[in-house]
Structure 1
Amino acid sequence: MALSDALEAPCLPVPASGRFIAAEHHFPLRVYFEDTDLSGLVYHANYLRYMERARSDMLRIAGIGQRAALEEGEGVYAVTDLQIRYRRPARLDDDLMVVSRVSQVSAATCAIQQAVMRGEEILTQGDISVAFLTPQGRPRRQPKPWIDIFSRLMRGEDIHP
């Protein structure tokens, strides 16, 4: 099959995407060689990347259009505070799950608790706060529909955009 035929095929796989189970977002991933250091363990900064991907996916499937807000000049989210606890290392080929839960919301900010897990075992936990900023970097109110989505998630309500 030619590459052009493959690109037009209707059954091409799509990137892995998380999903909500109740109000928690579950984002699956696998540890690749590039994620590890010389000891074969996941390099500490890569847990932050895993959490970022999971948060971005959570927002997207909840109906929060970050790209549209950026392109329309409304604003962007920026991490304002981060606390992370490393408990156990992940290794090459591990299947991991990043579980994310909204824990607080205000007019301009949102807090999200995240855990990187291998099965039932918590490997890393993070508490992340983000603020919605203008393109010039000043805090600004989040769009009201987004606050409503975050509030529903924080109350433990299921999200089906």
Structure 2
Amino acid sequence: MSEETDDAPYSGRIVGNEHRFAVRIYYEDTDAGGVVYHARYLGFFERARFDMLTRVGIDFLATLAADGSAYVVAEAELKYRAPARLGDALTVVSSVGRIRSAGVVVHQRVMRNDQVVVEGRVAVVFVGPDGRPRRQPEAWITAFEAISGGAEARR
């Protein structure tokens, strides 16, 4: 491995129609009992979505810098299935759901081996600098369709 990539941040991987992002649970993620604090899962979901977008070629950081347009979370739904604990090695598995002209729904689950710890659905909307929804770039819609596996219909 070259020196240039040795210190590169971890960036998950695409497997079939899913993005897989590994997470280890540290003290900062847990409550006094060593169980992952419920709100931390939203942070894990966010890291995985950010990475998934980057991995499929969506350069939302350049768009944000160029004209102030960005994705924002419009809705989040989580279902807690089992506790995760200090030291656990988990995987956030993300897949594209409904693709719309101004956003996308991402289905996400946190796994410990084959056990679902948390599952959720996050709807993100592309907004302009004024905060109003706007059409996301066509190339981004195409990128979502390419990894969606023909999931839910585009609308």
Give the TM-score taking structure 2 as reference length. Answer: 0.92
Q: For 1:3-42, what aligned pairs fall within 5 Å after superposition?
A: 10=4, 12-42=6-36
**How far apart, CA to CA, are the structure 1 residues paired with 2:6 and 2:105?**
36
CA radius of gyration, larger in: 1
Residue 54 of structure 2 aligns with an amino acid whose one-letter code is R
In structure 2, list runs of 5 or more residues that go unmatched: none
**% identical equivalent positions:** 44
Residue deviations 1:68-122 (CA, integer Å, cap 9, x gap): 0100115100111111000111111100000000011011010000000000100
Q: For 1:132-143, what aligned pairs fall within 5 Å after superposition?
A: 132-143=126-137
Matched with 2:139 is 145
Matched, 1:66 2:54: no
Residue 107 of structure 2 aligns with an amino acid whose one-letter code is Q
Matched with 2:69 is 75
Aligned residue among 96, 107, 123 for 2:101: 107
In structure 1, list runs of 5 or more residues that go unmatched: 1-8
Matched, 1:121 2:115: yes
**How far apart, CA to CA, are the structure 1 residues paired with 2:4 and 2:50?**
26
CA RMSD in angstroms comes to 1.4
Count matched residues. 149
Deviation of 1:12 (Å): 3.4
Give the TM-score taking structure 1 as reference length. Answer: 0.88
Kindly report structure 1 stretches of 4+ aligned residues shifted beyond 4 Å: none
Aligned residue among 128, 146, 149 for 1:155: 149
C-alpha contact 1:23 1:156 (8 A) present in aligned 2: no
Aligned residue among 55, 61, 71 for 2:49: 55
